[in-house]
């Protein structure tokens, strides 16, 4: 990327504007006063337009007077505000800054003018990205491709980094105070994190390593202005969130999870932003949909006539092109989509420096432009393929979209690789209450739950399980039946939360699709603050609940056992599904199905589930048509026990219980 390469030699500002400004942008550079947090300005120096590079402003640091000695510097660009508010001369963060420092600002408010200082190191005549303390950022080592899980065996753990730890604000209210170091502690028994010294589940354990997940999805790790929030107000797209830690902290986390064969996925917010371009070059990068109602760029996709929602941020402009320097290719005067180029630039940073192994694109409907989304996905794949060259495995990278109207054509037409499968959540929640969904019978509610490829999505379907991300709960708790599982179950008058939660996870981890676990659900964490279904989830995860010595601890062990099975068992990486038993004598509420292929060398998985308030009567319950019934080696996975031949297909079921069977040898057996 041309502009990223230039940053080692010069201070760089790309500012596509319709007219050359009367005054050039200025670099305001200085240093901090030790621990006091003050800022001592060294120089105010104008940038100059690059020759034959339209809208590209440059400044060689060697020309600054007084001469800069080697060291760490803080800086801003001084520009004229181009937003509709026209505030005059303002200071802005470098839009390409790899590190920002909120302890050094010129404005104290929380609005557009809150622009943290950018941080850079000057050494040996060059500019070097660094942390605030001067540590130079190192790229994450490339993981061995064969060690990484394929998409059809992923189990994603969705974690807002800051929610990794509960803290208290000055009112005594629980808030999220987690950091990259706290997340690292979830994978390393030797590290207590920044805040976990009193939480045995983290201080004495590696809770996520024990859980067995093989993909960590960090909710937006890029810098957001809002402290104590959940990260979707992205402001500085190239910098890890200043509240969460440094680039070095994030690199340590990624290298740790790579050493455990875990892929990093990260959320990206490109529907709206709180970025410096809202001041530097507003009309070229942003749009106010309510003020441009004749512009198709103002409207959501798959919601005719509905304006895009910026949720307090500024909607990115995607249709307009301008004649300008192309920051990707280096062409001096090309036709450029400014927003497209900017987003592909920060994608390069995250893919190249942090080894990202998958992406979730937030609020795709509010991006509203499939052409851009396709170009972003294709650039992500170019970067992934460049890691491994001709041997790059296409099953080990993925771009997922959140578009809850479920336009599966986005996948079929190559705009995205996969979608969040929100209908799956609705069916799961209904099944836990013994209810059907829509016009489907209960049997077909379960069939579509188990095999998402059966779901009719506007006349079309998923064609591969790796196209659908299934979840019991997500960070989006707004709306009907979307709260945490514990709260959903208990609010429906059910006393035995553990039993229904185990049933939920049995279904999640054996169904066709990519299972995603929202942080804390593995031990049925509950909502202490977010009790209003009209608001976003605000509760941090309370990991201390995991080691309660009772049912939550048992639930965690149950889920961990199934997670490890899901990530390794070949049959669950296949889409083949066959319902071979529906007990109509019990209202169709007891069912059995096979997952995986049959045949020589194949070991299918059988799930038997009771969706009723009654145990099966007597010591046996016979399930007819059991596949490979006469073959040896059957075991029940969730309880980790051998099943004697005479009991295969004849075991009783308790109410609201699922049992998971297979002949596939357990890993420890295969190793013997």
Q: What is the pLDDT of residue 634?
A: 97
391-425 pLDDT, tens digit each: 999 999 999 999 989 999 999 999 999 999 999 99
Question: How far apart (Å, rounded) are the C-alpha atoms in residues 329 and 126?
Answer: 22
Average pLDDT score, the chain: 92
Helix axis angle for 497-508 and 422-431, nearest 10°, is 140
| Confidence class for position 196, pLDDT limits 50, 70, 90 | low
Q: Strands 215-218 and 514-518: what pairing?
A: unpaired
pLDDT recorded at residue 318: 98
pLDDT in tens, 75-131: 999 999 999 999 999 999 999 999 999 999 877 666 788 999 999 999 999 999 999
Point out the least confidently predicted range of 11-20, 510-519, 545-554, 555-564.
Answer: 545-554
Q: Which of 26-30, 180-184, 327-331, 418-422 has the lowest mean pLDDT?
A: 180-184
- The total of other beta-carbon atoms located within 10 Å of residue 234's CB is 25
Cα dist from 247 to 8, 109, 254, whole Å: 17, 26, 10
Return the pLDDT at 670: 40
- Is pLDDT at 175 greater than 80 in this prediction? no
Mean pLDDT, to the nearest integer, of 50-71? 96
- What pLDDT is attached to residue 163? 66
Of residues 480 and 579, more confidently modeled: 579
| Least trusted range by pLDDT, from 164-173, 254-263, 269-278, 436-445 | 164-173
Distance of CA 429 to the CA centre of its chain: 23
Q: Kindly state the tokens that stand for 262.
A: 């875990």
pLDDT at residue 527, as a whole number: 85
Q: How many Cβ atoms are within 10 Å of 533's Cβ, its own excluded?
A: 14
**Residue 362 predicted with pLDDT over 70:** yes
pTM of the entire predicted model: 0.95
User: Residue 671: which pLDDT band, with cuts at 50, 70 and 90?
Assistant: very low
pLDDT tens digits, 270-304: 999 999 999 999 999 999 999 999 999 999 998 78
Residue 455 pLDDT exceeds 80: yes
Q: Is the pLDDT of residue 664 over 90?
A: yes
Instruction: Return the pLDDT at 197.
Output: 61
Cβ 116 vs Cβ 105: under 8 Å: yes
CA separation for the pair 628, 611 (Å, rounded) = 25
The predicted model gives 245-251 an average pLDDT of 96
The H-or-E segment that residue 471 falls in is strand 468-471
SS3 276: coil
| Mean pLDDT, range 210-226, rounded to an integer | 93
Given a cut of 50, whether residue 669 has pLDDT beyond it is no
Q: Residues 619-641: what's their mean pLDDT?
A: 96
Q: Peptide bond preceding 514: is omega within 30 degrees of 0, i.e. cis?
A: no
pLDDT in tens, 543-570: 888 988 799 999 999 999 999 999 999 9
Which of these ranges, 24-28, 290-294, 474-478, has the smallest mean pLDDT? 474-478
Per-residue pLDDT, averaged over 144-171, amounts to: 82
Query: At residue 533, does pLDDT exceed 50?
Result: no
């Amino acid at each position: 990327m041309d502009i990223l390469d230039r940053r080692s030699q010069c201070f760089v500002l790309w500012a596509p504007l319709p007219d050359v400004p009367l005054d050039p942008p200025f670099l305001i550079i200085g240093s901090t006063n030790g621990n006091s947090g003050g800022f001592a300005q060294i120089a105010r120096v104008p940038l100059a337009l690059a020759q034959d590079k339209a809208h590209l402003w440059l400044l060689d640091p060697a020309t600054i007077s007084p001469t800069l000695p080697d060291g760490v510097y803080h800086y801003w660009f001084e520009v004229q505000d181009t937003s509709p508010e026209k505030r005059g001369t303002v200071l802005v963060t470098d839009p390409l800054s790899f590190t920002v420092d909120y302890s050094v600002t010129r404005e104290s408010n929380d609005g557009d003018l809150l622009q943290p200082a950018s941080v850079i190191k000057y050494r040996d005549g060059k500019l070097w990205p660094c942390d605030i303390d001067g540590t130079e950022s190192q790229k994450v080592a490339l993981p061995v491709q064969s060690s990484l899980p394929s998409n059809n065996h992923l189990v994603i753990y969705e974690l807002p980094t800051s929610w990794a730890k509960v803290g208290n604000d000055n009112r005594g209210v629980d808030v999220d105070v987690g950091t990259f170091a706290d997340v690292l502690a979830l994978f390393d028994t030797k590290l207590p994190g920044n805040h976990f010294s009193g939480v045995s589940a983290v201080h004495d354990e590696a809770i996520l390593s024990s859980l067995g997940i093989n993909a960590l999805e960090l909710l937006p790790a890029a810098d957001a202005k809002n402290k104590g929030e959940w990260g979707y107000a992205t402001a500085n797209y190239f910098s890890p969130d200043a509240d969460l830690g440094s680039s070095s902290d994030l690199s340590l986390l990624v290298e740790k999870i790579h050493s455990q064969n875990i892929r990093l996925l990260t959320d990206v917010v490109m529907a709206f932003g709180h970025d410096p371009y809202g001041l530097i070059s507003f009309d070229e990068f942003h749009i106010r949909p309510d003020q441009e109602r004749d512009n198709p760029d103002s409207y959501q996709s798959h919601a005719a006539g509905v304006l895009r929602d910026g949720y307090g941020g500024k909607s990115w402009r995607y249709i307009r092109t301008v004649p300008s320097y192309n920051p990707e290719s280096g062409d001096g005067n090309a036709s450029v989509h400014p927003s497209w180029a900017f987003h592909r630039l920060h994608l390069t940073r995250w893919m190249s420096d942090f080894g990202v192994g998958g992406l979730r694109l937030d609020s795709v409907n509010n991006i509203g432009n499939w052409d851009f989304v396709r170009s972003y996905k294709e650039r992500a794949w170019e970067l992934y393929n460049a890691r491994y060259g001709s041997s790059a495995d296409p099953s080990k990278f993925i771009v997922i979209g959140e578009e809850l109207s479920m336009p599966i054509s986005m996948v079929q037409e190559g705009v995205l690789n996969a979608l969040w499968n929100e209908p799956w959540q609705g069916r799961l929640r209904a099944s836990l209450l013994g209810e059907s969904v829509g016009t489907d019978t209960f049997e077909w509610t379960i069939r579509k739950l188990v095999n998402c490829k059966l779901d009719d999505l506007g006349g079309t379907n998923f064609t591969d399980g790796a196209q659908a991300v299934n979840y019991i709960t997500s960070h989006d708790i707004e709306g009907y039946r979307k709260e945490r599982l514990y709260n959903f179950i208990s609010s429906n008058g059910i006393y035995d939360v553990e039993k229904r939660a185990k049933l939920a996870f049995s279904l999640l981890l054996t169904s066709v699709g990519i299972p995603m676990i929202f942080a804390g659900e593995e031990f049925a964490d509950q909502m202490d603050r977010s009790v209003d279904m009209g608001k976003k989830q605000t509760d941090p995860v309370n990991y201390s609940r995991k080691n309660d010595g009772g049912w939550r601890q048992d639930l965690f062990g149950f889920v961990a056992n199934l997670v490890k099975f899901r990530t390794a068992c070949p049959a669950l990486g296949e889409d083949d599904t066959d319902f071979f038993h529906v007990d109509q004598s019990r209202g169709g509420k007891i069912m059995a199905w096979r997952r995986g292929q049959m045949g020589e060398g194949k070991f299918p998985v059988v799930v038997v589930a009771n969706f009723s308030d009654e145990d099966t009567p007597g010591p046996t319950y016979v399930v007819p048509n059991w596949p490979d019934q006469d073959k040896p080696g059957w075991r029940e996975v969730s309880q980790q026990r051998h099943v004697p031949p005479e009991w295969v297909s004849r075991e009783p079921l308790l109410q609201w219980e699922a049992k998971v069977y297979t002949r596939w040898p357990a890993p420890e057996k295969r190793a013997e």
